[in-house]
Amino acid sequence: MTDLSFRPEDITLPAGHFLSGKIVPGGKDIAVTSPGHGRILGYVPEAGPDLVNEAAQTAARVQRESGWATCAPRERARVLRRWADLVEQHGMELARLETVCSTRPIVQTVGWDIPFLAEGIRFFSEYCDKIGGDVAATSANLLGMTVYEPYGVTGAIAPWNFPLVMASWKIVPSLAAGNGTVLKPSEMTPFSAVRLAELAVEAGLPAGLFNVVQGTGLATGEVLCRHPNIGKLSFTGSTRTGIAVMKAAAESGPKPVTLELGGKSPQLVFDDISSVDEVADRIFRAFTGNAGQVCVTGSRLIVQRGVAKLLIKALVAKCSQVAAHAPWEAVASYSPIISEPQAHRILNLVESSVQAGAQTLAPCLRMNSEEGGIFLSPGILMVTDTYSPVWQEEVFGPVLAVQIFDEDDEAFALAEHPVYGLAAGVHTASMSRAMRAIRTLKAGTVWVNRYGRSSDFVIPTGGFGGSGIGKDLGRQAFETNLRLKSVLMAAE
């Protein structure tokens, strides 16, 4: 097998904005630090109002003049399929650009992120000519119709935890629906999005239809949200920032938004499970994948007393088996924390929970790796009430909070959260219990006897309550990039 290891200093970083088909400078420099060794990799410019305005106006003009929205839909599909092919052909290059500044180990970006990205592009390409309007039932001398049309230009703000995958969930259905789009990637993981945009133009996407602006949320994202040419917004990130995005959309349109926000997802384990070891593996992956830096992280374990001791023992044992390696090393399988401030926040939440009465079952501690880096070991805390910080707050780190229950009703009550409703996991051998859980749990996604997304792109994702509005993936993500026009015609 090819050794996937590489050296960060050997990577050429596309450091700039992407406008009208080329990389351009503009704005003050932002330092980009790798969590893999804690040192600065390079810099990207920050887009101000003028550059955001140019990106949005260019996308609007190209969308209008290029024929992208008015061509035969299968022409758009062909371009998108070529784009997916190029993503695969340049997979190693994209994977390294993703890994070098993010939390994603190279073995995972090569093995999962890039294939998932390419197949996601193909999935949405298939919707280009599959969604149409309806003919309404009217009187015989009238013709009533509903017609879908693109918004024109959409704005997308992507997070740092899965930079390419999360960006693609926003930009690809928008482009497939006939829109132009302007993407703001996270300033912490800015490079791979630019290369992705270059490949789109190489595939035949009109230059200027898909533009990338770099910058922070306050300086760049806020301007993008409020720009008059942006007809619809999509954002993934914290609930607090999502509220700010929604407010900006309301004050500058109003314009529709898709928001995938925070989560504090429960995992319910009943004592009828057939294998403690298998469930322990599943739960461990669910709270340590990407070092817990996943919006759907299964960070609350609600376990029935009859199986609690064995399951907790198995989970604690797994916590000591994690090793810290720089993400660009082929042996790396565990992710660093994205930044020092985030690591401090995680440790502070753990400490405040312990001071409030939580019992440490496995400590969340700093880990050492040969190249330095920002690593925390997986931690498990037993809590006795729902007021503990690690039970209430989205830690966004490798920390599992545990409570034990006796009766089913108690488990469902513990699963409730006053803010979040993004995802939930149910582990049981009882079909009737699983069905009750599906109907009872207030979450946008419920996994039964598994945890985490698969490559079933047709299943949408999105949360309830403070976890967001709207859906990514699925037919719903395509349709949300179209607006519906009603038509009624009368013969003269």
As a whole number of angstroms, the distance between CA 49 and CA 219 comes to 8
Name 269's Cβ contacts closer than 8 Å, sequence gap at least 6. Answer: 279, 283, 301, 302, 303, 304, 307, 311, 427, 428
Q: What is the pLDDT of residue 276?
A: 98
- Asked, as a colleague might, if the bond just before 254 is cis with ω within 30 of 0, I would say yes
Q: What is the pLDDT of residue 476?
A: 96
Q: Longest Cα pair distance anywhere in the chain, in angstroms? A: 80
Listed residue (36, 106, 107) closest to 371, CA to CA: 36
Question: Per-10-residue mean pLDDT for the chain, 492 residues long?
Answer: 88 96 96 97 97 98 97 97 98 98 98 98 97 92 95 98 98 98 98 98 98 97 97 97 96 96 98 97 98 98 98 98 97 97 98 98 95 96 95 98 98 98 98 98 98 93 97 96 96 81
The residue written with tokens 């806020």 in the block is 222
The residue written with tokens 């780190």 in the block is 397
Phi first, then psi, for residue 169 (nearest 5°) are: -60, -25
Burial class (CB in 10 A: 0-12, 13-18, 19+), 334: buried
Name 177's Cβ contacts closer than 8 Å, sequence gap at least 6. Answer: 127, 128, 150, 478, 481, 482
Which tokens hold the place of 80? 């998108």
As a whole number of angstroms, the distance between CA 442 and CA 179 comes to 33
Number of H helices and number of E strands within the chain? 16, 24
Q: Are 179 and 33 in contact (CB under 8 A)?
A: no
Q: What 3-state DSSP class applies to 65?
A: helix
Q: What 3-state DSSP class applies to 278?
A: helix
Q: Are 42 and 8 in contact (CB under 8 A)?
A: no
Bridge partners, residue 400, by sequence: 380
**359-362: strand order across its sheet:** 359-362, 379-382, 399-405, 300-304, 266-269, 423-427, 445-448
Q: H/E/C letters for each residue in 409-428?
A: HHHHHHHCCCCEECEEEEEC
DSSP, res 290: G
Name 278's Cβ contacts closer than 8 Å, sequence gap at least 6. Answer: none
As a whole number of angstroms, the distance between CA 209 and CA 402 comes to 48
Q: Which long-range contacts (CB under 8 A, 24 or more apart) does 437-445 make?
A: 437/268, 437/412, 440/412, 441/266, 441/412, 441/415, 442/416, 443/265, 443/467, 444/468, 444/471, 445/296
Pure H helices in 335-479 = 340-355, 389-392, 408-415, 431-440, 474-479
Bridge partners, residue 449, by sequence: none
Name 128's Cβ contacts closer than 8 Å, sequence gap at least 6. Answer: 73, 74, 76, 77, 80, 176, 177
As a whole number of angstroms, the distance between CA 11 and CA 402 comes to 42
For residue 153, the surrounding DSSP H or E stretch is: strand 153-157
Angle at Cα 246 formed by Cα 243 and Cα 249, nearest 5°?
A: 150
Name 203's Cβ contacts closer than 8 Å, sequence gap at least 6. Answer: 79, 80, 82, 83, 85, 86
Q: What is the pLDDT of residue 472?
A: 96
As a whole number of angstroms, the distance between CA 216 and CA 207 comes to 24
